[in-house]
A and B are shown apart, each in its own frame.
Chain A
């Protein structure tokens, strides 16, 4: 579901404008110091710790300025990437299993959603789900096994009347492991996977179940105008490009939302989101310009920062020199001044020494990761015979909240590399082109000229996190191991993890995978995005999760 696309309409001009306004606002406003997150475990900060746990009231209207350029289209897989799922997907829909995002202490796992329990066959191939009874869609029709069949037919059965090629494309990786599915009875469904696949629940948690009646009535094309799920909120008003208003689904099977109304507004320009928050037009702004963080803290806003599975990295072209040599890759990884990078973005990210952040179960605790060590970097370059004269070409996207602030960050990278004797030629590309590069890989004729590229994937689920390092995923046969890195040991570890059904043991194998991959460094991690958002002090009950999405049912507005 293209979660990594997030909001990327914001191109260079927006970043430029954001920087400008950030500076201006700093000039206009007071500045104070605030405490950033500490290392050790996941980084986190909430300006007012009591706001998250305050459950003393209810009601109110919450208005959110999204960084999306449009209202997420509320189809089975909402558009607008991570924000689409965050604000529309998890609110309007349920999946068979949901994410437990009502806590921020650990990366969310999956919990019962529309399925209240499940079991696995002895060969670990067939999963049987007992469905929740008495659940109704927002259009009043009943949820049952037929609705589950309908949802999967829409994605997988090409001759089905309501089969949707776009929805299949969005959910492609989540259904790839499914060999077959069937209705056992009105409250029971079974899925058979094409190989032992312990990640299956992560796949299912991303597949929303829409109302079959609504789709039959309006057809695939018109359905988004009449979208109907079983989620905690239902759509009350939807004007494409302008506004979406959600109201509580009072018949919700879980916790009925405390809010009276949730209003979503698209504001792709960071400066506009910031001003909208400061003027009281909205109560919640996604990723305002980082230059304004200190001022916002000083003004009493809740500046929320927390580690979640989203790292920025440089992916290396391992097909050819100089990055076919692991020593050169490691040299770059040791040569990046991550703390300096973090300072540039005002602490909106944390230093990334591995792909996974500290506190994430898939981080390898036996590998210390890449800290800033220019001497070691120079020594590694010397060992590789590249002490001087090394020139590389690096592609980076020109903007987008999910990419953080690539312009200044890449200039810092360029400077760091100069310090260890590497000359970097930076090539700004539109985000769409960087995705094309990621899909086609660095061996493709269009992109083989680049030695490395800057990227920021979602790593919330095992496949999202690690598929890019599997041999079978090297383009064009697979997607999207863009660097072309290949390791039989890593492939075997991943297969073993997929075949391990004890969560702790599986996570340990994934951590080993991470360690093995990181030591050989097909990528150099740079920063962990800390999911910057700023809330008015009136917003209560929001728990910042270690996740791309969250739980809005406990949120309410204080007068």
Chain B
């Protein structure tokens, strides 16, 4: 198991290196102007050149990459002239904000997904199963930004129950934050509910069909006891899917964060791309990549913990 852990962690390095090179190259071929937001409307060519030099943008691309990589390896992601803050600081704040949203979304999405999937599997072929299928298909099919807009119309514009956006309306405090969190969390959880419910249902049904379930029945276990055994055996694929969902959520959703003015990682990277703020883009994408890899690693480890067959194979 330790060997696998080391091997997996070692694979992270080339992945991240590859990601950073691809992002760097993409940024260099993307049309646009990294100084557009910093220069006056009619700034002269000399002003432009001076600013370019001060930001190190006049170096050739490979030199810039090597500089960036060298600094990044020492934990220095540089300074964002657009946001007037250190990139590490910016990413830290944005990641915390996204984490809040992701944890809430994951709790709602995966929690409801597992519950609905289980209900559907237990009531296979009956009305409840069909209802869950409809809900799950809706979750998968309806774009999250659409759900977000509907939620805003209903709960903010019409009912006036919840604030339409932001993390705070100036009040502060836990209740204020929670009120701002509810709609974005539900909107981004919608897909997770659908995906998890379908996977849970399919996995449970597949496991119900296995021989050991007949044995359990023959031993006289109750339906609930059987479900417990089945669920443990069915958990592995659900865990994989849930891990992917958490990975996506932690990467920050551009659409949800923009619609709800949630200052998370997705919004930060999106704004950085619009401004061609390459240091934030580079570091931001790396954070997303690292998060994704680590979440998947954690999922793999969890699977080893719950499934002895996998432990043997490892």
Number of inter-chain CB pairs below 8 Å: 224
Partner of A17, one of B94, B97, B145, B263: B145
**Cross-chain contact A430 with B274 (CB below 8 angstroms):** yes
CA distance in complex: A221, B274 (Å): 23
Given contacts A4-B41, A63-B170, contact A166 B36 (CB under 8 A): no
Pick from B35, B40, B44, B276 the residue with the most CB of A within 10 Å: B40
**Cross-chain contact B45 with A476 (CB below 8 angstroms):** yes
Chain B residue, CB-CB nearest to A164 = B54
A472: shortest Cβ distance to chain B, in Å? 10
**Cross-chain contact B165 with A267 (CB below 8 angstroms):** yes
**Cross-chain contact A439 with B33 (CB below 8 angstroms):** yes
Chain B residue, CB-CB nearest to A261 = B170
Binds B, one of A208-216, A326-334, A463-471, A538-546: A463-471
Residues of chain A lying within 8 A (CB to CB) of residue B163 = 276, 279, 281
**Cross-chain contact A480 with B165 (CB below 8 angstroms):** no
Q: Is A169 an interface residue (CB 8 A)?
A: yes
**Cross-chain contact A242 with B167 (CB below 8 angstroms):** yes
**Cross-chain contact B83 with A245 (CB below 8 angstroms):** no
Given contacts A272-B152, A276-B164, A433-B32, contact A166 B169 (CB under 8 A): no
A274: shortest Cβ distance to chain B, in Å? 7
Q: Is B275 an interface residue (CB 8 A)?
A: yes
Q: Is B190 an interface residue (CB 8 A)?
A: no
Residues of chain A lying within 8 A (CB to CB) of residue B270 = 9
Binds B, one of A102-110, A170-178, A519-527: A170-178
Within 8 A of A (CB), among B260-303: 260-261, 263, 267-268, 270-271, 274-276
CA distance in complex: A458, B276 (Å): 22
Given contacts A9-B274, A166-B81, A280-B160, contact A265 B166 (CB under 8 A): yes
**Cross-chain contact B168 with A2 (CB below 8 angstroms):** no
Residues of chain A lying within 8 A (CB to CB) of residue B79 = 221
Residues of chain B lying within 8 A (CB to CB) of residue A5 = 36-37
Q: Is B258 an interface residue (CB 8 A)?
A: yes
**Cross-chain contact A275 with B84 (CB below 8 angstroms):** no
Residues of chain A lying within 8 A (CB to CB) of residue B81 = 166
**Cross-chain contact A3 with B274 (CB below 8 angstroms):** no
B254: shortest Cβ distance to chain A, in Å? 8
**Cross-chain contact A240 with B43 (CB below 8 angstroms):** no
Pick from B41, B166, B270, B271 the residue with the most CB of A within 10 Å: B41
A453: shortest Cβ distance to chain B, in Å? 13
**Cross-chain contact A28 with B158 (CB below 8 angstroms):** yes
**Cross-chain contact B50 with A168 (CB below 8 angstroms):** yes
**Cross-chain contact B166 with A176 (CB below 8 angstroms):** no
CA distance in complex: A274, B261 (Å): 13
Q: Is B305 an interface residue (CB 8 A)?
A: no
Binds B, one of A45-53, A67-75, A131-139, A179-187: A67-75
Partner of A13, one of B41, B90, B255: B255
B217: shortest Cβ distance to chain A, in Å? 52
**Cross-chain contact A435 with B93 (CB below 8 angstroms):** no
B305: shortest Cβ distance to chain A, in Å? 38
Q: Is B157 an interface residue (CB 8 A)?
A: yes
**Cross-chain contact B40 with A446 (CB below 8 angstroms):** no
A31: shortest Cβ distance to chain B, in Å? 15
A289: shortest Cβ distance to chain B, in Å? 11
CA distance in complex: A281, B79 (Å): 34
Given contacts A25-B157, A266-B261, contact A70 B83 (CB under 8 A): yes
Given contacts A240-B83, A241-B94, contact A458 B41 (CB under 8 A): yes
CA distance in complex: A1, B255 (Å): 29
Q: Is A194 an interface residue (CB 8 A)?
A: no
Partner of A464, one of B32, B41, B90, B275: B41
Partner of B152, one of A61, A271, A463: A271
Q: Is B156 an interface residue (CB 8 A)?
A: yes
Within 8 A of B (CB), among A60-114: 61, 63, 65, 69-70, 73, 75, 79
**Cross-chain contact A272 with B45 (CB below 8 angstroms):** no
Q: Is B51 an interface residue (CB 8 A)?
A: yes
A268: shortest Cβ distance to chain B, in Å? 6
Given contacts A268-B258, A276-B163, contact A17 B40 (CB under 8 A): no
Residues of chain A lying within 8 A (CB to CB) of residue B146 = 20
CA distance in complex: A77, B278 (Å): 22
**Cross-chain contact A245 with B170 (CB below 8 angstroms):** yes
Chain B residue, CB-CB nearest to A266 = B261
Chain A residue, CB-CB nearest to B85 = A240
Residues of chain B lying within 8 A (CB to CB) of residue A28 = 153, 157-158
**Cross-chain contact B271 with A169 (CB below 8 angstroms):** no
Residues of chain B lying within 8 A (CB to CB) of residue A173 = 40-44
A131: shortest Cβ distance to chain B, in Å? 25
Within 8 A of A (CB), among B18-52: 31-33, 35-45, 47-48, 50-51
Q: Is B128 an interface residue (CB 8 A)?
A: no
CA distance in complex: A493, B196 (Å): 70
Residues of chain B lying within 8 A (CB to CB) of residue A61 = 170
B219: shortest Cβ distance to chain A, in Å? 56
Residues of chain B lying within 8 A (CB to CB) of residue A245 = 170
Residues of chain B lying within 8 A (CB to CB) of residue A464 = 41-42
CA distance in complex: A8, B37 (Å): 10
B121: shortest Cβ distance to chain A, in Å? 36
CA distance in complex: A439, B155 (Å): 44
CA distance in complex: A287, B44 (Å): 31
Chain A residue, CB-CB nearest to B159 = A279
Partner of A467, one of B37, B42, B156, B167: B42
Chain A residue, CB-CB nearest to B155 = A279
**Cross-chain contact B166 with A242 (CB below 8 angstroms):** yes
Within 8 A of B (CB), among A239-268: 239-243, 245, 261, 263, 265-268
Residues of chain A lying within 8 A (CB to CB) of residue B166 = 242-243, 265-267, 276, 281
Residues of chain B lying within 8 A (CB to CB) of residue A442 = none
**Can you name 26 A-B pairs with beta carbons within 8 Å?**
A2-B40, A8-B274, A14-B258, A25-B157, A65-B165, A73-B83, A166-B84, A168-B47, A169-B47, A172-B40, A240-B263, A265-B165, A265-B166, A269-B261, A275-B157, A276-B165, A279-B160, A282-B169, A432-B32, A432-B33, A432-B275, A432-B276, A436-B33, A439-B33, A476-B45, A479-B48
Interface residues of B (CB under 8 A from A): 31-33, 35-45, 47-48, 50-51, 54-55, 79, 81-85, 90, 93-94, 97, 145-146, 149, 152-153, 156-158, 160, 162-170, 255, 258-261, 263, 267-268, 270-271, 274-276
A sample of 12 more A-B contacts (CB under 8 A), given A14-B258, A265-B170, is A8-B274, A169-B50, A172-B40, A240-B93, A265-B166, A269-B261, A274-B157, A275-B152, A435-B33, A473-B42, A476-B45, A479-B44
Shortest beta-carbon contacts, A-B, top 10: A241-B263, A436-B33, A275-B164, A172-B43, A165-B54, A276-B164, A172-B47, A435-B36, A272-B165, A275-B157
